[in-house]
Structure 1
Amino acid sequence: MTVRLSMRQKLTMVTIVYWVLLSYMIAALVWWFIALQNQNSLMASMRLVELKKDDPHYIEKVTLIEDARGRKIAQYIGEGSTFLALIIVGAVFVFRATRRQLMLSQQQQNFMMAVTHELKTPIAVAMLNLETLQKRKLDIDKQQKLIGNTLQEANRLNTLCNNILFAAQLDAGAYKPSQVEINWSNIVANCAKDFINRYPNRNIPVNITDGLHIMGEELLLQMLVNNLIENALKYTPKEASVAISLQAEGNKMLLQVADEGIGIAEEEKKRVFEKFYRSGDEKLRNTKGTGLGLYLCKKIVQGHKGTIAVSNNQPKGSIFTVIFNGLF
């Protein structure tokens, strides 16, 4: 039976191997220095023995031999220090690269598990709804409810596919966003309205200034807003609110999505925008997601020459703020 090592066990094994190899290389370098030093001293002693003390240039020759031995010692120290520095730098680089690769591999594995679940769930719900419509004679209200639920799951599936496709295009460097004038206020308002319709029981207050325009691509900006709102709703209790705000401050436009969820730890605030990264303990996590949403948000914002950041909401939760240059 094959036993798969956990991420912690793999990192422990890599760390042990790293320190063993590094210790061996340093020990070999020290041994090399001692051996060369002994050889240098032996050669200097043999040359001194060969000298004749009644030679009028005896002291001068002794000085030359001692100087030569000193230069050799300095050479060995210099070469040894250089080799030691290269070994340490190389070892640290290899260790960090290996550690990063193991963590990325684990994140990719978590992503595959999550995306499989995320794909199967809306498909299963849609199939169940359609089978119910096919096999049972329902009144109009129930039919419309099932159809609406199926469309909601289809939209969810479409959003997930768009995220995966766009992430793949970004990694391949095959996507170049267009730059046209867009009504930023309308995009945010329409996205907020869509979520209000999809989640009628959720509290989603909206405060949007009309007539704000930016240069960008409509599809990507819609993806940005949808991912931010979806992320906020995902981590916010159903009884709490998710506030959406778009305001102008000088020549800047601030989009803020504020939730009242569990919040984000300080050490994780920078990492939440990394690809595949999801905050919290993977084993204990109950929320859905693939770890692509906020990564795509950051890429979209950077592609539109804006900034995105996360801060604490009061008394609890998080606020995601996107800042773009506006057209006035």
Structure 2
Amino acid sequence: MSHQQSAPSSVYNLLTMQSNPAQRRFAFIIGAIVTLISFICVPFVRVQLGEMQAFQPAVFSTVVCFELITAYVIYSQFKISRAPAVLALFAAYLFSAGMSLVYILAFPRVFAENGLFNSGPQTSVWVYALWHLGFPLAILLYLRLDSKYGDVRYSARKAKLAGWYTFIGIIVLVSICTYVTTHYIEHLPTVLSQGKLSPAFIRFVGVPIVLLTFITLLVFYFKTRAKTVTSTWLCIAILALMLDVLIVLCGGGRFSVGWYVAKWNSFVCSNVVLAGMIYEFTKMYLRMADLFRKVKESEYNYKELLGESQQAERIISEQNTIIEQMLESSHEATVMCDTAGRVIFANRRVEVFFEHPISQGDHISSYCQGMRASGAAFNEVIEAYFNQSIPPFLKRISRVSLTGELKHYECYVNPIFDEGADTLRGHLFGFRDRTEEERMDEMKNEFVSIISHEIRTPLSSIMGFIEILATRSVAEDKRVKYVETIHKESLRLSNLINDFLDLQRLDSGRQAFHFQTLNAAHLLREIVEQWQGKDDHEIELHVLAEEALIYGDEERLMQVFHNLISNAIKYSPGKTKIDVTVERADGAVSIQIQDYGLGIPVDAIDKLFTRFYRVDNSDRRKIGGTGLGLSIVKEIVEAHRGTVTVDSELGIGSLFTVRLSESWEE
């Protein structure tokens, strides 16, 4: 157990709270009553009583609930103490709860004639045996761990992992026991015949369990002497478990006196520890409330209340742990420094942000070397702050990551003063990652730039020609030309607005798709006919598969191919041929649109489907566009579970390929 922390100061909890003589006497009385009831009933165990079918589910639903609650309470104590041995107690009650649940589900005529899980009349008996065997073994494991690793305490992270491993391990163990006792029940010895336990089961299973439980009780008592609250009530729980099995071995069928008494002992075993813990929780709360009242009433009782206030100090220590955990889970990097700027605490987010570790005692200004703030070195800004040259600040800083990416952060610093006093205790530095915000700002600026150009240009043309038509008398041929220009620019403006609206609907998930089976060849013929002769371009359609069926939204797919053919025409000035090919391959339909125009630079292909991206050269700037068309194409194709790719060579042309499925298999 080398990965654990050893010899820390013990934390105050119910597992270490000392029991007083009154508590032990009360527990002894409860144990004596349970034992007396069990032994008084021994001569009458075979007496049959009335059948109460609801008794079994009612008792065991309570048993399962109590044991799960007890397991949770013990686990909460483990989170405080982080002692490995406590996990064994948690496992004992979690295992008992799981096996109790399987027992009642597999019990005949409770939920099904032969029980659930394909069980039979033998299953519940074997589940009962494994259940009552596992609990004392877990108690012995607890004693062993407490003896060998009593001073060991897990770190917070190791404690969390150990808790999860224990939880998952018990679930797996209960599942294995259930599987074996249901699916392999025919391979296990017959233990129940005509409602009676077989002699072999009593001799080789029942009696050893009683002896094991009795030995566990003796060992547990002599090891612990019932000195703590938990150990006192665990003695009673082990006793009730032993009496439960002992009564069952004395005979008697279901709904006999012995059967009912055994269920009573199961009930006692499940809730006695929980009842004791709840009682002590209540007492602890009352003592804390009384302590708080006394502190408020009078300060002169301080020395008298000093011993009780140590308990409050431990609670504060736990709260500090909670605060530390909250800081660790924060999305901000947080660093607390003393008055000289040396690091007192830093959460893990600091190392994640800045890619190198920070330790207690490091100076914050040295750690921040290499960062920039408004053109100045950030470590110099920090030193100026500690020299009181500048007040507490909020600044944007940047640094280059190990991968060469420029990262942006926002840093704020606040001095920490004593509450109600002017004594400076330290400084709190907070770092917030705003790299994504910077990227969005750049996109917004690019968006504004494009909008200002792409909207202003057609608007200026429209307004200019309308003003000419409104204020001057022009010849008919010029009037027609002006109106055509106005119409053309209006369409351009309308298309731009539609692109923005389409993109917004796709982003928000409000774009409705109406999927149906379509013939790709028919769809492309209709689109090609609309673009045929546009700007003197000849579009040739090559249909290699007439039955090229695709599953999609007709209107949206037409938008995709209109956009791609429009781009092919637009970016092949001086060239007149465009090839459109429809073919089937590997259960999918491939639509290829080939132009022989400008082509695309190699370094631009990866960014081609990014919003607002446009290849930056003079030839394309003359053509215009928003850089939204291809991003919309990609969004629509991916919504159809398809792909769109491009293969291009500068000055030779570009080939866009859209692959769509013939059908979707859910």
Helix, strand or coil for the counterpart of 2:535? Answer: coil
Q: Which residue of 2 aligns with 1:280?
A: 616
User: 1:89 aligned to 2:423?
Assistant: no
CA distance in 2, matches of 1:217, 1:99: 37
**For the residues of structure 2 that align with 1:153 and 1:194, how far apart are their CA atoms?**
20
Query: Structure 1: how far apart are the matches of 2:469 and 2:542?
Result: 39
Say which is worse superposed, 183-192 or 290-299, in terms of deviation. Answer: 183-192
Q: 1:116 to 1:322 in 2, by over 3 A?
A: same
CA distance in 2, matches of 1:159, 1:265: 26
Distance in 2 separating the partners of 1:200 and 1:278: 22
Letter paired with 1:206: E
Shift of residue 110, structure 1, vs aligned partner: 1.6
After superposition, the Cα gap between the structure-2 partners of 1:189 and 1:120, relative to the gap in structure 1 and judged at 3 Å, is farther
Deviation at 1:244, TM superposition (A): 3.9
Q: Which moved more, 1:165-174 or 1:126-135?
A: 126-135
Given that residues 311 and 318 in structure 1 are in contact (C-alpha distance below 8 angstroms), is that contact kept between their aligned partners in structure 2?
Answer: yes
> Which residue number corresponds to residue 647 of structure 2?
311
- Partners of 1:291 and 1:314 in 2: how far apart? 19
In the alignment, which of 234, 240, 245 is matched to residue 580 of structure 2?
Answer: 245
| Aligned ranges 1:151-190 → 2 under 5 Å | 151-190=487-526
Q: Deviations over 1:107-162 (max 9, x none)?
A: 321222212322232333344445555544544x6655544443333332222111
In structure 2, distance between residues paired with 1:213 and 1:182: 5
Q: Which range is displaced more, 99-108 or 157-166?
A: 99-108
- 2:600, 2:650 within 8 Å by CA — same for their partners in 1? no
- 1:84 to partner: Cα distance: 10
When Rg is computed on C-alpha atoms for both structures, the one with the higher figure is 2
Letter in 2 for 1:91: F
Unpaired runs of 5+ residues, structure 1, are 1-74, 76-82
Partner of 1:322: 658
Matched residue type, 1:320: F
Deviation at 1:163, TM superposition (A): 0.9
Q: Deviations over 1:183-203 (max 9, x none)?
A: 544543444444445x434x3
Aligned residues: 244
Q: 1:153 to 1:286 in 2, by over 3 A?
A: closer
The 5-angstrom pairing of residues 38-53 of structure 1 reads none
Partner Cα distance (1:145, 1:195) in 2: 22
SS at match of 1:205: strand
Partner of 1:120: 456
Partner of 2:506, secondary structure, is helix
SS in 1 for 2:614: coil
Match of 2:566 among 230, 254, 257: 230
Alignment correspondent of 1:292: 628
Pair 1:206 & 2:518 matched: no
Counterparts of 1:132 and 1:189 in 2: how far apart (Å)? Answer: 41
Contact 2:520 2:549 in 1 (8 A): yes
Change (3 A) 1:208 1:155: farther
Among 544, 556, 569, the alignment partner of 1:220 is: 556
Q: In 2, distance between residues paired with 1:111 and 1:169? A: 17
- Per residue, is there more helix in 1 or in 2? 1
Instruction: State the superposition RMSD in angstroms.
Output: 3.8
RCO (CA 8 Å, sep 6+): is it higher in 1 or 2?
Answer: 1
The TM-score with structure 2 as length reference comes to 0.32
Task: State the one-letter code of the partner of 2:541.
Answer: N
The answer as to whether partners of 1:254 and 1:322 remain within 8 angstroms in 2 is: yes
